[in-house]
Amino acid sequence: MGEQRRQFILQWLKESGRPLTGAELAAKTNVSRQVIVQDISLLKARNEPIIATSQGYLYLKTPTANKTYTRVVACFHTPEQTKEELYLIVDHGVTVKDVKIEHPVYGDLTASVMVSNRREVDQFIQKIKETNSSYLLQLTDGTHLHTLEADSPAKLDAACATLKTAGFLIES
């Protein structure tokens, strides 16, 4: 029964064009959200490329013929400026894949963000508020890295120029 459910979950994630929440998967399979969390852990242990984002679980599809470009940028701002920073990036057609910080005890910490448009940014910010969570940048007084992804270097350049103008970009 459990193995069959995990195969259904895997298929739904592969076919979905969007992240699926634990609650959605639980409702589809008539089990608790905690069972879904365990199922996802088992699937990840089998090296299935599933990530947990603020919008739900996402199956990382194999790269398509469409070329993507990535860039890691260093940023600095207050927690209150997070929404503005993310809007500036996604408005250029750029996806914010993650946020990274260098913690003095734990070393490098990375969290998935996966936002590509203002609606997803709003959902991300709302989830932070609803769960009373902290932004990783609060552990480093505002300094953090983002991995950005776009279908052209020009979009990455434009997003970086906007971050620089806003005073969010740390330059070497």
Residues of each annotated binding site for Ni(2+): 77, 85, 144, 146
- Are the C-beta atoms of residues 6 and 59 closer than 8 Å to each other? no
Using alpha carbons, select from 156, 124, 129, 146 the residue that is nearest to residue 75: 146
Residue at token pair 């947990």: 52
| Cα(145)–Cα(100) distance, integer angstroms | 5
Q: How far is CA 171 from CA 20, 117, 143, 145, in A?
A: 37, 25, 12, 12
**Beta bridge mates, 146:** 73, 99
DSSP for 37-51, please give it.
HHHHHHHHHTT--EE
Provide the annotated binding site: 77, 85, 144, 146
Q: Which helix (H) or strand (E) is 70 found in, with range?
A: strand 69-76
